[in-house]
Chain A
Amino acid sequence: MFAIERIRIIKNYITNNQQAEVSSLSSMLNVSEVTIRRDLEKLEEEGFLTRTHGGAILNKAEDEPVIASEGFNPADYQEIADIAVQLIKDGDIIMLTNGSINLHIAKKLGSKNNITILTNDITIATELSHNKSVKVVLLGGNVDFRYNAVFGTLTTNNLKQFFVSKLFIEIDGITGDLDLTVSSIDMASLIQEAANNASQKILLLTADAFEKNSFYRVGKAQQIADRLITNSRIKDTYKNTIFNSNIQLFTSIDAFEGNV
């Protein structure tokens, strides 16, 4: 189970019971007591509870019910990145287009060896600079400060010099007919060019992207990519269409709790 999910459950539990013991939380949630203590520490910092010996009690001032965060949900990105990282093997040459999911992938590359990463996202390149075991190639071009990434003719020309084994494409929207859309025309042409120079192409998008469409069209999903990673709460009709279009659909069902 994911940390955020666990903390939500702990919060609900303490709201209902006024107090909790570390040992019982740990057995019920299938995680170690150390993890539970760390979660309780976080909640203490939030002022939600006060830690006691072997447990915690609810702060009385906290009356308002626990509200699930709306819209933007970092757990969505994390889950998708978790699956995407599994696709990357030691020694791979990959490209990450600009975006938050790809940034999360970059953060998780620490465990891999000898990976070369091509990207147009400055934040991703900076993030990877902490990691000594990877090689980073940042494309050139016009900097668009809204995305903190480079785009334009310079970038697409630059792209022609490379060939990557795995291309991770982050998309902003998808229609019912699996038309991919993004929020800028430069981004669309960058993705089209990148797709020409890659052997495996993987689409990344959150479940929210299925509900909204952006303005600029990239192309049909089945022509651009062979895999798609998203969250599990997308509508059944989408699962159906994607499966029938012969695209491998990975949904981030992050339900199984921890390693066995």
Chain B
Amino acid sequence: MNVPALMLKNINKYMSEDFSLNSINLDLFYGEVHALIGENGSGKSMIINVINGIFKKDSGQIYVDGQEINANSVYEAKKLGIHSVLQDVALYPNLSIAENVYADKMPYKNELLHWIDYDQLIYNCKELFKDLNINLNPEAMLGSLGYAQLHLVELIKAYISDARIIIFDEPTSCFSPVEKAVLYQVIHELKKRKKAIIYITHSLDEIEQVADRVTVIYQGKIIGTRNVTVTTTEEIIELMAMTEVGKRYPKLDIPLGKTIMSVKDLSFETVLSDINFDLRKGEILGVTGLAGSGRSMLAKCIFGVTKPTTGTIEVNGKPATIHEPYDAIRAGVALLPEDRINSSVFGSLSLQSNVSIASLRRFVQHMVIDPYILADVSNSYVEKLSIKPGNADDIVRTYSGGNQQKMAVARWMMSHLKIYIMDEPTRGVDIASKTDIYNCMVDMVRKGASIIFISSDIDEIMGMCDRILVMNSGKLVCDVPRAQASKELILKYAAK
């Protein structure tokens, strides 16, 4: 067989007690699209980062055309012929679209003086856009573009580059069907030109569309590689579901009470359509789905951060009018947001202020907050949740992710509401804090609260929930009780 364009041999990389890459072996040939598939946090992007030298590998070798390479940065990787389209765009918003597209390949009037031939540049770009059916003005500022269009520009940069190896990291996550068509056309062209392509995704549909081979990754290990033409989707799902973990999630079977919240016909623009579900007292309701399936938007709509286009929310049998988060809290609903750093933790405030900020009303006595009892009650929460180091005056910014998250959980527990929406409460959190957060959930439901638990970790959802909802492109596609759910079933609905 011919020499692979790119070959990874026994790559190891230790990141944390929670995650490491374990002897990754991967090969990629010219004229081939090799897809990597796996859940969020399984290590797909990590592999790309190691190839690009953003993270240094602990051991193992990377070969390009049979030659061992050692890139130390994206720039060095580019020089070696590896072009990556990453999840975050790295473009110049104050330059025109054409300048951005050709940033690595400017047409010069004079090479030596770096004298750019602008007429040529615009002409080239116009021709290129015509070929690819892209409706953008090359002379417009890049800053005027939307998120999806920015990714499109990154995509075109890869298309015109001289690189022999091209890596796409979840390119479609923000694309509409129009942009997807461009993407597929680009990949088709690149294949014709005998480029080697790595395509990261978690959608099975896309694999059938573009890939020749697919490799399944789970928790930093390669589970297996299959040839797409001879493999059915079911086989790939089976491969992905093979990785069942033990029963280590603390789950109490609490008898469920009456319906406490009903969401009816909830829609938001094109992101969510016709969401219907009920939540019962004492229930942990799991919501899962791929990134971009609308999970977080659903949470935001219920909590009043975004106003749903249509739909009603009933709390305790009565319709609740929720225009803003304050209304939601008054109705007894709390949201632990996904983005801890930007939307929940006050990094520059003290631990005590952070913990007590949602329940100050409780401590008001004769129109003044009583500092002693406030300190006592918040200290008792800090101690119970083992938030460390846990001094009341500590500035929270200095705390670890796990402790910050526990603090956010404590804040809402202290406000003593009925319904808790927790969006990815355990993402980026160490194991010890994870077990604490699970046990907080146990504590809340056994005292009558209800939880909507949003997570992309299917093991955790299966371990903690009474019922599981699966979302796919803004729709609720599956609603099963825990006993009937299997990882295969969830994956099938989530990734199809």
Q: Could you list 16 A-B pairs, sorted by A, with CB under 8 Å?
A: A9-B377, A13-B373, A29-B377, A83-B442, A86-B254, A87-B252, A232-B439, A236-B432, A237-B432, A240-B432, A246-B247, A250-B252, A256-B449, A257-B414, A258-B416, A258-B447
Contact of A246 among B248, B252, B444 (CB under 8 A): B248
State the Cβ distance, B243 to closest chain A Cβ, in Å: 14
A228, closest chain B residue (CB): B250
CB–CB A240/B431 < 8 A? yes
CB–CB B373/A253 < 8 A? no
When A13-B376, A28-B377, A240-B431 are in contact, do A255 and B446 touch as well, CB less than 8 Å? no
Contact of B386 among A89, A233, A256, A257 (CB under 8 A): A233
Q: In B414-450, which residues have CB < 8 Å from any A CB?
A: 414, 416-418, 430-436, 439-440, 442-444, 446-449
A251 CA / B418 CA spacing, docked (Å): 22
Is A1 an interface position by the 8 A CB rule?
yes
CB–CB A248/B373 < 8 A? no
Contact of A86 among B252, B332, B383, B435 (CB under 8 A): B252
CB–CB A260/B417 < 8 A? yes
CB–CB A255/B436 < 8 A? no
Is A161 an interface position by the 8 A CB rule?
no
Number of interface residues of A (CB under 8 A): 44
A227 neighbours in B (Cβ, 8 Å): 250
Is B380 an interface position by the 8 A CB rule?
yes
A258 neighbours in B (Cβ, 8 Å): 416, 447
Give the A-B pair count, Cβ closer than 8 A.
127
CB–CB A1/B380 < 8 A? yes
CB–CB A30/B248 < 8 A? no
CB–CB B436/A9 < 8 A? no
Is A226 an interface position by the 8 A CB rule?
yes
Q: Which of B209-217, B222-230, B362-370 contacts A (4 or more CB under 8 A)?
A: B362-370
A240 CA / B432 CA spacing, docked (Å): 5
Contact of A239 among B383, B413, B436 (CB under 8 A): B436
B372 neighbours in A (Cβ, 8 Å): 12-13, 16-17
State the Cβ distance, A226 to closest chain B Cβ, in Å: 7
B332 neighbours in A (Cβ, 8 Å): 260
Is B158 an interface position by the 8 A CB rule?
no
B380 neighbours in A (Cβ, 8 Å): 1, 5, 9, 255
- For the complex of A and B, the 3 pairs showing the least CB-CB separation, nearest first, are A246-B246, A236-B432, A239-B432
18 new A-B pairs (CB below 8 Å) besides A12-B376, A83-B442?
A12-B372, A28-B363, A28-B370, A28-B377, A83-B446, A239-B432, A239-B435, A240-B17, A240-B430, A243-B432, A246-B247, A248-B248, A255-B385, A255-B413, A257-B416, A258-B416, A260-B416, A260-B449
CB–CB A9/B385 < 8 A? no
CB–CB A28/B447 < 8 A? no
A242 neighbours in B (Cβ, 8 Å): 435
Is B384 an interface position by the 8 A CB rule?
yes
State the Cβ distance, B458 to closest chain A Cβ, in Å: 17
CB–CB A244/B436 < 8 A? no
A29 neighbours in B (Cβ, 8 Å): 373, 377
CB–CB A256/B362 < 8 A? no
Is B251 an interface position by the 8 A CB rule?
yes
State the Cβ distance, B82 to closest chain A Cβ, in Å: 36
